[in-house]
Amino acid sequence: MRLFRKAKVYIEGVGIKMTDLLFDTLTRSYESSADAEEIKIPSDALVVPAFIDQHIHGVVGADASDGGGAVRVMAKALPSEGTAYFLPTTMTVGREALLSAVEAVGRAIGDNDMGAEILGVHLEGPFISNKHVGAQNPDHVRVPDIGLLQELIDASGGNIKMMTVAPELDGADKLIQYAKEHAIKVSIGHTDATYSEVEHAGRLGADCITHTFNAQRALHHREAGTVGAALMMYGMYAELIADCIHVSVPAMKLLLKCKPEDKLILVTDSIRAKNLSGGESELGGQKVTVRGGEARLSDGTLAGSVLKMNDAVKNLVIRCGASITQAVDCASANVAKHLGLFDEMGGIKIGKRASYTVLDKNFDCVMTIRDGKTIYDRNAEA
């Protein structure tokens, strides 16, 4: 057994409380035990549920589309920002490269004992709109193809958990239904979908908007568009890249105001340049330049982010006025609910997995624990 003694803990359904927290692989009790190993943390630190990133391409030079050991590198790096679970997210690349990437992720699942856990693959493309391709490579955009999706499912060992699709494309209806039948979450993104087309996709099973406001049909007073759907549809989850670059602070506040508290999801959408010194990088076979915290293609298009999840939480609190518990939920509970995993993760509750992020008063990550094991300790890294 391990123990946080007299710590500030965000307890599911209760709020922030000064308490003991006893755990092994699961959260066991809010009482002390003389036999437990006590974990020392700063007196002003806050213990919250470990973060979950459902949309992340890369970090520290590694990219989910690289295949090989790249996702293992990601798994080792992400706990330093409080992330204990993630969906490696592929780019719109060629068929063979995509098959190779998802196969590599599938092989890596369960083989990262001391890092963040890989929950499965998020396919961002290739079934997207050329009108809103963003930083995706237009050379590899494809029409919806159930045969290719099945190939990807097989190559991954059944580990495709989420996919981003433009629902207005020919064949998208059947693709969304097929994905739902195979327990794949469908998110609407890189799309020119109208409000009614998003509504229709929602009826078929799509339940999320990919990086809301970015690479999608904007809000207009005569056509509310994809952004209007994200703001208005109660049951639709909305991803947000809260780096104050992809989305302005007033727009982030608008999304906070419009969405039910359990339907907003923080994502990093970070690329391999994160945690590196900046300069030139690469995304989906395209050159990216990172300067001043912004990653852009040569034509100025934003190309993912270098955002850390703890900073996304901080921005929601400091810049947008969210409560710390609301912001933490956007990086943990809401993601777990979206992925159908809230019964085991996303909250600190007796019987749930003992996965915690410890934040200091500046929102910097002090420690990350997954299933009772410390996978990041700032003091050990110093």
Give the pLDDT score at 382: 60
Q: What percent of the chain has pLDDT over 70?
A: 99
337 pLDDT exceeds 90? Answer: yes
Q: Which residues pair with 290 in a beta bridge?
A: 279, 295
8 A C-beta contact, residue 65 and residue 105? no
What is the rounded average pLDDT of the residues 34-44? 94
8 A C-beta contact, residue 133 and residue 100? no
Catalytic-labelled residue, pool 63, 243, 269, 329: 269
Number of H helices, E strands in the chain: 11, 22
Give the pLDDT score at 135: 85
Q: How confident is the model at residue 294 (pLDDT cuts 50, 70, 90)?
A: confident
269 is catalytic: yes
Q: How does the average pLDDT of the chain come out, rounded?
A: 95
What is the rounded average pLDDT of the residues 345-368? 98
Q: Which residues contact 341 (CB under 8 A, 6 or more apart)?
A: 52, 119
Q: How confident is the model at residue 112 (pLDDT cuts 50, 70, 90)?
A: low
| Cβ atoms within 10 Å of 311's Cβ, excluding its own | 23
Which pTM does this prediction carry?
Answer: 0.96
HSE, side-chain direction, 13 A CA sphere, residue 306: 22
Determine if the peptide bond prior to 126 is cis (ω within 30°). yes
Distance set, CA 101 to CA 36, 122, 137, 212, 250 (Å): 42, 11, 16, 26, 37
Q: How confident is the model at residue 251 (pLDDT cuts 50, 70, 90)?
A: very high
